[in-house]
């Protein structure tokens, strides 16, 4: 499991989001079931004659139902945003000769790390990581506004 997480860094965030959304759906379903149960008990309590308890239970049931619908709506909106926004983490590699290359972030990358991979122009010089940043596309920027 740990090895898998390290090698598949890019897919890690999306699978985590899926886990959260299924977890959230489960909570929503439980809250919804509790709300419906509360409403049923409220009706029964009302028929028995305890109007105050029935009112409280009905209130709890309605709040639970509203909350679950709200959460469901929120989670759907969130998952839609996640689909659009999958930022890549990029690593900038520079050589002393001035050549600059970029590649996808790899586990173990950090700024000022010396790389064993030589540059294409001067094979004797070692390259160094000069920056790690998240790639932001123009479309995503306008979407958020």
**DSSP character string of the chain:** -HHHHHHTHHHHHHHHHHHHHHHHHHHHHHHHHHHHHHHHHHHHHHHHT-HHHHHHHHHHHHHHHHHHHHHHHHHHHHHHHHHH--PPEEEEEE-TTS-EEEEE--TT--TTPEEEEEPSS-TTSEEEEEEEEE---HHHHHHH-
Q: Provide, rounded to whole angstroms, the least separation between the CB of residue 26 and Zn ion.
A: 54
Shortest distance, position 99 Cβ to Zn ion, whole Å: 5
Q: Return the number of the residue (76 or 100) whose C-beta is nearest Zn ion.
A: 100
* Minimum CB distance to Zn ion smaller for 94 or for 140: 94
Looking at the Cβ atoms of 102 and 122, the one nearer to Zn ion is 122
- Please say which residue, 42 or 95, places its beta carbon nearer to Zn ion: 95
Q: How far is the CB of 81 from Zn ion (least distance, A)?
A: 41
CB of 105 to Zn ion, least distance (A): 21
Kindly list the residues in this chain that would bind Zn ion in the complex (CB under 5 A). 95, 97, 99, 119, 121-122, 125
């Amino acid at each position: 499991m740990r090895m898998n997480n390290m090698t598949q860094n890019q897919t890690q965030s999306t699978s985590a989001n899926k886990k959260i959304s299924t977890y959230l759906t489960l909570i929503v379903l439980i809250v919804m079931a509790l709300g419906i149960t509360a409403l049923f008990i409220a009706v029964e309590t009302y028929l028995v004659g305890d109007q105050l308890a029935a009112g409280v239970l009905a209130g709890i049931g309605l709040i639970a139902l509203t909350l679950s619908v709200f959460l469901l709506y929120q989670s759907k909106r969130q998952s839609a945003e996640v689909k659009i926004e999958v930022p890549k983490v990029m690593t900038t590699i520079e050589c002393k000769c001035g050549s600059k290359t970029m590649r996808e972030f790899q586990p173990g990358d950090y700024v000022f790390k010396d790389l064993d991979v030589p540059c294409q122009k001067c094979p004797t010089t070692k390259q160094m990581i000069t920056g790690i940043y998240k790639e932001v596309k123009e479309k995503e920027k306008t979407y958020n506004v």
